[in-house]
Amino acid sequence: MNKKILVLCTGNSCRSQIAEGYLLYFARDKAEVFSAGVETHGVNPRAIQTMLEDGIDISHHTSNNLDDYQSISFDFVLTVCDNAKERCPYIPSQAKTFHYNFPDPAKAKGTEQEIAHEFRLVRELIKSYCQKFVEENL
């Protein structure tokens, strides 16, 4: 039976979307992966572009609210920012929870190049984290 993984962030816009993309990629058919936010901000176009640069298409992803998944019993819940961890309501399941506070690339300031660089840095952090998570837990 496939494991069910939920990735939580504040707005389900950048970090949780990138993590969902990599978890799907690394887990292949070993897991069902969902992402949600305590709010919904829409999928960030820069997150989509940054992932395409690494060969992963998340343009079809949707920005979902945690409430959308109340009926699913998750095996793992990963919070990828402190705000989501603090605001995360109780998840009624036996889910193992993991937390890592990734920097928010959507808050990057500067030129297009500087912002793109920040997105790439965060993408690589999340990629490493997701690869390690799958190796250790699935």
Active-site amino acid positions: 9, 81, 88
* Spatial distance between the Cα atoms of 85 and 133, rounded to a whole number of angstroms: 18
Read off the tokens for 97: 């929870």
Percentage helix, strand, coil for the chain under 3-state DSSP, each rounded to 5: 45, 15, 40
**How far separated are the first and last CA of the chain, in Å rounded?**
11
Work out whether the CA dihedral 87, 85, 119, 56 comes out positive or negative.
negative
CA distances from 43 to 10, 80, 127 (A): 12, 15, 18
How far from 122 is each of 61, 62, 92, 125, 138, CA to CA, in Å? 19, 20, 30, 5, 23
